[in-house]
Structure 1
């Protein structure tokens, strides 16, 4: 019998038919300066910008980023690409409320200071040591390096807005939680 779910209190024993086809499409982070955030996520983490949507009447823009799979074809037509974007898994939406980039004192809550809430997003990488070297070369701020703390082989970096990003190499985590 194939694996479907771990059993814990609160976990539904089955999947409701009404949820068939549901996909976790994206998580959203608010960013102070889109140029700085886009540079970090595209240059340092290798994501690609799929679509920018502007909402002038509400004074904000959305940037949908994705890490493409080798050989994946993204539609050129803007309408088709928009529909394709909202059908994907694991996208990152950066939301920019216009004007925040001009306010020197403006800062979003990262979710890890009190009161805690949102914690982090996570990227898996093929080689954790190589990723750490890359982050060092790009002067990325670390919250925790893989050899620090009680949980080894897991790193946490910060993006330009202070959000935490967990960095893991899947093959190093087989012992986690055992």
Structure 2
């Protein structure tokens, strides 16, 4: 068994696809409209769905925004240099909400960015 994807509901699909592809460097793997259900699914990730876990971005055509809730945490991405990743994200107009530095009760270097819908993405420095 393996994790296939994590689904996020997004208010503006094109804006979200731009964030995950242009700011975080993922690829748009596939996008399908479901007119009878009035929704679109877009899958983004760093590799093929055959071997990598990906994100499913779900856009319900009649919903402009969502409440994030208090149970959801974040998506985590491994990066070789968290400070450099933050600088690159800011250069692409991404929002860094916690600069790179050691985690509160440890030594792992982390940072956090926020997508257009307010979802947090943690950057974990791994060499």
TM-score of the two chains, using structure 1 as the length reference: 0.64
* Matching residue of 1:154: 110
* Matching residue of 1:107: 65
User: For residues 48 and 42 of structure 1, what CA distance do their matches in structure 2 show?
Assistant: 5
Contact 1:110–1:164 at 8 Å: present in 2 too?
Answer: no
Q: 2:86 aligns with which of 115, 129, 132?
A: 132
Answer yes or no: is 1:63 the counterpart of 2:39: no
Bigger CA radius of gyration: 1
**Deviates further, 141-150 or 55-64:** 141-150
Residues matched between the structures, number: 125
**Could you list the runs of 5+ residues in structure 2 that have no partner in the other structure?**
none
C-alpha root-mean-square deviation of aligned residues, in Å? Answer: 1.9
**Could you list the runs of 5+ residues in structure 1 that have no partner in the other structure?**
1-21, 69-73, 75-84, 101-105, 172-178
Are residues 107 and 36 of structure 1, via their aligned partners in 2, closer, same or farther at CA, if it must alter by over 3 Å? same
TM-score of the two chains, using structure 2 as the length reference: 0.87
User: For residues 169 and 149 of structure 1, what CA distance do their matches in structure 2 show?
Assistant: 11
Structure having greater relative contact order (Cα 8 Å, sep ≥ 6): 2
More helix by share: 1
* Matching residue of 1:38: 17
